Amino acid sequence: MTTTEAARPAAGATAGRTASPAPARRLPRIRTVLVAATAYLIAFVFLFPYVEMVLTALRPQEELLKASYLPSVFAWENFTAFWSGGLAGNLLVTLQVAAGSTVLVLLVALPAAYYTARHAFRGRMAFLVLVLITQMFQPTALLVGIYREFFQFGMVDSIWSLILVNGGFNLAFAVWILHAYFSSIPRELEEAAFIDGNGRFGALFRITLPLAAPGVVTALIFTFIAAWNEFVVALTLTTTPERQPLTVALNSFIGQYEVDWQNLFAGSVIATIPVIILFVLIERKVVGGLTAGSIK
């Protein structure tokens, strides 16, 4: 073997090492810092009102107008006054209205969304557009008609009237969210369940609904929060203080000449906690439900 032939593999190896791709460049450090700083700034802007609400709820009456940001003494009695003042019953009414509206929406939206996703009947798109159009009507624009209707049926000052109204105004969003998620689930999975001996309902409850759990949870959380925060319809349809939701009952702390800021903010903090806990528990499925159908 000549010297030239022996040098060829070494030259090839050197060329291979030279042609290897360079490692990926890392993001500049300044860019990472700017992105993190912007994220913390946005989080601070959104969280600051809640921090101020908690601090005001813990501030004594004589320190409301002081320049100090933190109270010298934390007035925990503002929170205990919430329960002793009878607002616990209003909190229970709010929970009943929100839970009832959510159950009603899911009972109606699940079969409607599943049928429109699995059956290409004539007028399907027109039906979905009509459902979407109902979302354009705000409760405040229909208050007079809603009140007259429930007055004629003797359902004014009733929890059932609030459940029906909140369920009706949140139904369109739930139908569209669930329709998009059911459409993203392959039909072949249900057909395989049919071959295994399952009927339509068996395939629905054993295959489709477990896979559509993120969409169901998304409809659940948005309906629950909307019904929990509703104020105008509840203010119009309820007259007895004991039957009013918490959002209306908190309005009693706002007088003509003064505002009971401590109890108002203490009640607002207590009203916010259940929704925060619910959202934290199912936040991952909510993200999956909102992105359903966006990636094919």
Evaluate if residue 1 carries a pLDDT over 60: no
Residue 148: predicted pLDDT: 92
Percent of the chain with pLDDT over 70: 85
Residue 40: predicted pLDDT: 92
Domain ranges of the chain: 2-57, 83-290
- Work out the burial of residue 1: count CB atoms within 10 Å of its CB; fewer than 13 is exposed, 13-18 middle, 19 or more buried: exposed
Residue 7: predicted pLDDT: 46
Q: What would the mean pLDDT of 58-64 be, rounded to a whole number? A: 82
Decide: helix, strand or coil at residue 66.
coil
At residue 286 the predicted structure's pLDDT band, cuts being 50, 70 and 90, is low
What is the spatial distance between Cα 194 and Cα 288, in angstroms, rounded to a whole number?
Answer: 27
Nearest to 227 by CA among 171, 291, 155: 171
CB atoms within 10 A of CB 69: 8
Residue 61: predicted pLDDT: 80
pLDDT single digits (tens) 16-40 = 455 555 555 555 578 888 888 899 9
Evaluate if residue 13 carries a pLDDT over 50: no
Residue 295: predicted pLDDT: 47
Evaluate if residue 176 carries a pLDDT over 60: yes
At residue 291 the predicted structure's pLDDT band, cuts being 50, 70 and 90, is low
Q: What would the mean pLDDT of 275-294 be, rounded to a whole number? A: 67
* More confident call, 278 vs 246: 246
Arithmetic mean of pLDDT over the chain:
82
* More confident call, 295 vs 74: 74
CB atoms within 10 A of CB 178: 27
- The total number of residues shown for the chain amounts to 296
Task: Return the minimum-mean-pLDDT range out of 1-10, 55-64, 221-230.
Answer: 1-10
Residue 71: predicted pLDDT: 82
Nearest to 227 by CA among 151, 164, 177: 164
* More confident call, 199 vs 157: 157
**Phi–psi pair at 10, nearest 5 degrees:** -65, -40
Nearest to 183 by CA among 239, 240, 243, 128: 128
* More confident call, 271 vs 24: 271
Q: What would the mean pLDDT of 218-235 be, rounded to a whole number? A: 91
Per the structure block, which two tokens stand in for 207?
């295959």
At residue 162 the predicted structure's pLDDT band, cuts being 50, 70 and 90, is very high
Residue 290: predicted pLDDT: 56
Angle, alpha carbons 10-13-15 (nearest 5°): 110
**What amino acid occupies position 20?**
S
- Work out the burial of residue 36: count CB atoms within 10 Å of its CB; fewer than 13 is exposed, 13-18 middle, 19 or more buried: exposed
Residue 150: predicted pLDDT: 92
Evaluate if residue 3 carries a pLDDT over 60: no
- Contacts of residue 63, defined as CB under 8 A and 6 or more positions apart, other chains included, come to 71, 72, 73
Buried (b) or exposed (e) across 85-119, using 16+ Cβ within 10 A? eebeebbebbbebbebbbebbbeebbebbbebbee
The CATH code for residues 83-290 is 1.10.3720.10
What is the spatial distance between Cα 110 and Cα 97, in angstroms, rounded to a whole number?
Answer: 20
- Contacts of residue 206, defined as CB under 8 A and 6 or more positions apart, other chains included, come to 193, 198
Residue 55: predicted pLDDT: 87
Per the structure block, which two tokens stand in for 108?
């109606």
Q: What is the pTM of this model?
A: 0.78
